[in-house]
């Protein structure tokens, strides 16, 4: 990405008869700032839209109108009014609180929610739209999402309040438990693509919608819904919002928070909702590849020209954001439809249902992939040859030159080759 | 052209070095903060930051997989459990630890010895004493999880040939796996519900 920036800088500099080398520092710094700016705005503007949407969805489901006054017909400036109200609120802190940790906790949550986004691609191809093209992106995002709970625990502990501590304990128990089935679900697309690189996983699902991993086989179809359940639980949304449970714990871990500090928790929550939805769309729903391959039909690919490819990537960006947006909307729909579970029911859902189902479906997906390799859409359609030719853009480990002597190696297709060990060695 | 090249190299900041110094400094500073602070939860918080800075060093060195592992296991898992332990066992809110001077002396001697050994080992490797490179340069990205997985299965992809004597880690991996299984069984045994006849009416 930074090289791309340096090329762009070079192009601009060429107007003034100058030049910028491809490995120049300027592009790296500029690229870093651009990425962070875009991602912070994805979280912030996303929260702005989602809070309005949440009110509207809640209103519609409860047979009301939701906000109608602020900013015209649909009340679409309601969040801004909320924000101004939050800024003018007094920043309260309990007398007995651990002041330093109390102040720091919202930022820990928010930073974790933001950090998960840096490895998330928004379009693929030869020049993917991703801040850091990481070859263990799936793993990284799951790891960082787990860190977010730390901010909540700190908030609950430092508030010196029973309600906050109860909320934090529940959250910790819940997130630690749900990481297990969530990880098992995320492993299945990794297994099918043979890579932890999200760009490659997304691009393996290119073409028509039957190439999407959710339709790969019956097991992935089931595991997609397990993933949605676990993702809802791991970002603490109703019916799993035990950490804030208004009816019993006042407001849970953020009981003592007010004003802007409180809103940081909310931004973190909407940010991680967006992250898990985007992750679901990349892992299972084709990511930036729409149901109909309009982009490649119109010739918007990098094979034709660089700028056409970039245009196609912007189409993909719209696609993946739309999918993420729909995922968040479904979470809202679920929140306002289903009643909250009890804490023991939450644990039972995770340990007795989600984890075993995910484990069995994982085994099923493995067996399916072994018995029907190279098939898509429940084994009906064949995977096109273009998809087979996709490779990770970096060095994959190749074994020694004389393959015969190595006991095990990775061949050019990325598969594991085991060689019989010769008696002489 | 030559002149331009030289000004470039003068102006160019080696970002890898800058971030190495930043992250290493943060890791050390928060590690010291862990020792100095008396409050246990604050200690845990500083420990999180120190470990996160260490994972940043891994990412900087191009070891994505190990960095993410560090985040998941140390920053995520262990610390949640640590805080659980602290919150469940402490009797008073915001408990403070008082360390006696004897304990401090022992800890200082122990830490100083380990630091001395590590520093001696690090400086005795001739390849690492190259003064021209201040820190690691940006390396070509390569797949990091693959070689580790292969190594755990007993095959080293960086081996030149089978006679290279670069053994895999299959045995170590198996021992650790069995060990973790034993720990899990033990935890389940300790945490199991004690069967009591008069506990609850059915």
Highest mean pLDDT among A80-89, A180-189, A337-346: A180-189
Other Cβ atoms within 10 Å of A202 Cβ, number: 29
Residues of chain A positioned with their CB less than 8 A from the CB of B142 = 135, 394-397
* Interface probe, candidates A102, A111, A135, chain B, greatest B C-beta count within 10 A: A135
pLDDT digits (tens, 9 = 90+) for A25-65: 777 778 788 888 998 888 888 888 888 888 888 888 998 88
Whether the upstream peptide bond of residue A362 has omega within 30° of 0, thus cis, is no
CA distance B186 to A166: 27
- Helix (H/G/I), strand (E/B), else coil: A147: helix
Cβ neighbours for A170, distance < 8 A, ≥ 6 positions apart: A242, A243, A245, A252, A343
Partner residue facing B146 (CB), from A25, A139, A397: A397
- Tell me if the pTM is above 0.90: no
Residues of chain B positioned with their CB less than 8 A from the CB of A136 = 64-65, 68, 144-145
CA distance A241 to A174: 10
- Check the CA dihedral B58-B60-B65-B71 and report its sign: positive
Cross-chain Cβ contact A169/B93 below 8 Å = no
Cβ neighbours for A355, distance < 8 A, ≥ 6 positions apart: A180, A181, A184
Contact indicator for B30, B53 with CB cutoff of 8 Å: yes
Cβ neighbours for A266, distance < 8 A, ≥ 6 positions apart: A47, A51
| Token pair recorded at residue B119 | 């520093």
Element holding A417 (H helix, E strand):
strand A416-418
For residues A228-254, average pLDDT = 79
Nearest residue of B to residue A392 by CA position? B143
Cross-chain Cβ contact A392/B93 below 8 Å = no
Q: What was the pLDDT predicted at A396?
A: 66
CA distance A226 to A228: 5
Closest CA to A220 of A244, A184, A255, A254: A184
Task: Return residues 152-181 of B near A (CB < 8 Å).
Answer: 153-155, 157, 159-163
State whether residue B9 sits within 8 Å of chain A by CB. Answer: no
Secondary structure letter of residue A23 according to DSSP: T
* Interface probe, candidates A17, A24, A32, A397, chain B, greatest B C-beta count within 10 A: A397
Residue B142 pairs in a beta bridge with A395
Contact indicator for A174, A236 with CB cutoff of 8 Å: yes
Residues of chain B positioned with their CB less than 8 A from the CB of A153 = 80, 83
Q: Label residue A305 by pLDDT band (50, 70, 90).
A: confident
Residues of chain A positioned with their CB less than 8 A from the CB of B192 = none
| Token pair recorded at residue A47 | 């929260």
Contact indicator for B33, B88 with CB cutoff of 8 Å: no
Percent of chain B with pLDDT over 90: 16
Nearest residue of B to residue A147 by CA position? B76
pLDDT digits (tens, 9 = 90+) for B86-135: 666 666 656 666 777 888 899 889 989 999 999 998 888 877 776 555 44
Percent of chain A with pLDDT over 70: 88
Contacts of A24-27 spanning 24+ positions with Cβ under 8 A: A24/B8, A24/B12, A25/B11, A25/B12, A25/B13, A25/B15, A27/A2, A27/A3
CA distance B182 to B180: 5
């Amino acid at each position: 990405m930074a090289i791309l920036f340096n090329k762009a800088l070079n192009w601009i500099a060429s107007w003034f008869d100058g030049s910028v080398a491809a490995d120049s520092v300027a592009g790296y710094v500029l690229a870093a700032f651009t990425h962070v700016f875009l991602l912070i705005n994805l979280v912030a503007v996303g929260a702005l839209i989602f809070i309005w949407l949440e009110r509207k969805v809640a209103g519609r489901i409860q047979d009301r109108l939701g906000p109608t006054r602020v900013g015209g017909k649909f009340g679409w400036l309601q969040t801004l009014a909320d924000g101004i109200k939050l800024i003018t609120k007094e920043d309260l802190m309990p007398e007995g609180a651990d002041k330093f940790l109390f102040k720091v906790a919202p930022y820990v949550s928010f930073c974790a929610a933001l950090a998960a986004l840096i490895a998330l691609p928004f379009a693929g191809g030869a020049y993917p739209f991703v801040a850091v093209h990481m070859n263990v992106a799936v793993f990284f995002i799951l790891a960082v999402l787990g860190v977010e709970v730390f901010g909540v625990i700190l908030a609950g502990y430092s508030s010196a309040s029973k309600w906050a501590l109860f909320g934090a304990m529940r959250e910790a128990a819940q997130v630690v438990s749900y990481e297990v089935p969530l990880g098992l679900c995320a492993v299945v697309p990794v297994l099918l693509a043979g890579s932890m690189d999200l760009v490659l996983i997304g691009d393996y699902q290119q073409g028509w919608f039957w190439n999407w991993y959710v339709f790969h086989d019956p097991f992935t179809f089931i595991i997609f819904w397990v993933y949605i359940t676990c993702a809802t639980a791991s970002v603490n949304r109703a019916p799993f919002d035990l950490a804030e449970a208004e009816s019993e714990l006042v407001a849970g871990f953020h009981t003592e928070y007010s004003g802007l500090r409180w809103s940081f928790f909310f931004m973190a929550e909407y940010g991680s909702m967006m992250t898990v939805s985007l992750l679901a769309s990349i892992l299972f729903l084709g990511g930036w590849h729409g149901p109909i391959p309009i982009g490649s039909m119109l010739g918007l690919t990098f094979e034709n020209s660089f700028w056409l490819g970039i245009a196609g990537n912007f189409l993909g960006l719209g696609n993946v954001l739309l999918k993420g947006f729909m995922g968040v909307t479904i979470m809202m729909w679920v929140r306002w439809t289903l009643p909250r579970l009890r804490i023991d029911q939450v644990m039972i859902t995770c340990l007795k249902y989600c984890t075993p189902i995910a484990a069995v479906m994982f085994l099923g997906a493995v067996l399916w992939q072994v018995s029907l390799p190279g098939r898509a859409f429940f084994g009906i359609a064949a995977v096109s040859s273009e998809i087979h030719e996709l490779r990770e853009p970096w060095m994959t480990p190749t074994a020694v030159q004389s393959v015969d002597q190595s006991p095990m190696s990775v061949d050019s297709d990325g598969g594991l080759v085991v060689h019989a060990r010769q008696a002489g060695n | 052209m030559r002149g331009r090249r030289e000004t470039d190299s003068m102006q160019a900041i080696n970002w890898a070095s800058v971030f190495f110094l930043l992250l290493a400094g943060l890791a050390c500073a928060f590690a010291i903060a862990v020792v100095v602070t008396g409050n246990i939860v604050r200690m845990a918080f500083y420990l999180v930051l120190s470990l996160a800075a260490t994972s940043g060093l891994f990412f900087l060195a191009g070891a994505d997989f190990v960095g993410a592992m560090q985040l998941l296991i140390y920053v995520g898992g262990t610390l949640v459990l640590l805080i659980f332990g602290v919150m469940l066992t402490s009797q008073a809110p915001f408990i403070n630890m008082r360390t006696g001077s004897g304990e401090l002396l022992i800890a200082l001697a122990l830490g100083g010895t380990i630091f001395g050994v590590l520093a001696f080992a690090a400086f005795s490797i001739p390849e690492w004493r190259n003064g021209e490179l201040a820190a690691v340069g940006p390396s070509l990205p390569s797949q990091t999880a693959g070689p580790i997985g292969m190594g755990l299965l007993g095959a080293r992809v960086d081996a030149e040939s089978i006679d290279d004597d670069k053994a895999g880690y299959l045995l170590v991996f198996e021992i650790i796996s069995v060990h973790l299984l034993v720990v899990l069984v033990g935890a389940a045994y300790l945490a199991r519900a004690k069967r009591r006849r008069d506990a609850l009416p059915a």
